Amino acid sequence: DPRGSGRPTLRVRAGSTALRSTRRHDPAIETRVSRLEGRVSGLRVTFPIRATNGEAADLLLDTGFQGELALDAATLVRLGFDGPVGVSPVELGGGSGADLFVDQGRIGWLDGELEVSALMIQSTEGAMGLGLLRDVQFTLNTKSRHAAIEKAP
């Protein structure tokens, strides 16, 4: 950011909705964790996700979503995602269809980093889908209000 605010600069091209972040990966920021601890409130489960630029977001686990992430444009930019790489037709919860922008980025994920795809949505409540739960152990205990994601044994 030329004004030194520390926030990423948004670039919008005329006639385009492409958003870009000027913030890039800083290897000094630790994003690797061996276990993600979630929060359970009623039937809502949220997990903190940390991008490789050090920024984080709490995301709702959406068991009806087969993709990896669904985030609004401002959160995608804040997390340092690269900007739209395409458009994907999706079926929304009510059964209607929509074409949504797809963005690419990296997150800290279970002792490493993971390249992920994110659908750009309007809602400011971000979601993580079942696509992130491949090859992991997911634990949910509604009585103790505990949820966790860790490497599968």
What is the percent of the chain where pLDDT is above 90? 46
Token output for 127: 């979601």
Give the global pTM: 0.75
Collapsed DSSP state (helix, strand, coil) of residue 100: strand
Q: How far is CA 49 from the centre of its chain?
A: 6
Mean pLDDT, range 31-40, rounded to an integer: 74
Mean predicted lDDT score pLDDT of the chain:
79
H helices of the chain, in order, are 73-78
Mean pLDDT, range 92-103, rounded to an integer: 87
Collapsed DSSP state (helix, strand, coil) of residue 88: strand
Residue 34: how many other CB atoms lie within 10 Å: 9
